[in-house]
Amino acid sequence: MKLIIDDAHIDQIRKIYEYYPVDGVTTNPTILAKSGRQPYEVLKEIREFIGAKAELHVQVTAREAEGMVEDAHRIIQELGKNTFVKIPSVPEGFKAMMALHHEGVKLTATAIYTPMQAFLAAKAGADYAAPYINRIDNMGYNGVKVAKDIHDIFRNNGLQTEVLAASFKNSQQLLELCEYGVGASTVSPDVIFALVKNKAITSAIDDFIADFEGLVGAGKTMKDC
């Protein structure tokens, strides 16, 4: 499973890249708005930092298919061909996906709440389909199960589209999808930082170091022996 950062704050992205083996960055209009900066200013900075080969996902904001296609062309022009254009999984979006797929544009179908949305997006040419795990939970359904069902639908129908699970509230949701083998998950920095934030882990490391320093002296490490 690919692990992708769901954020547009470059300081957070830099910190995560320093410590964690991640595969790229996803954004959406709300995330860009929270940065308080102009969209392409932020996105170009992210692209420059993560490099041309890393995945960057950027969403169109037009409501009609023709406008979505125009948005997609501008996104690719500004950010490179390895940028995945996020298209909402609605009728106008499916129309745009089919047109852009024929052009060879990489596509992420977004705003997915149901397996049939994902199935239609896959048929329209999407490379990824992004179900909103926590938002589905908040509607009274099981977001993790929906993502698993979508993954099974893709495999059972010979579709190459991968699940890109989004909208996580905790690491347990992420773990379940990792165990299931979905294609990718995009996760906010706070959830990523919490993946190994555990008092038991910290305590075990402190005990090891204390025992070692008791043997060789305070502040010494293996290089000093």
Active site residues: 86
End-to-end CA distance of the chain: 40
Beta-sheet strands, E only, within the chain: 2-6, 24-26, 55-59, 83-88, 107-112, 128-131, 162-165, 184-187
Report whether 125 contacts 98 (CB < 8 A): yes
Report d(CA 50, CA 12) in Å as an integer: 12
Report d(CA 124, CA 15) in Å as an integer: 36
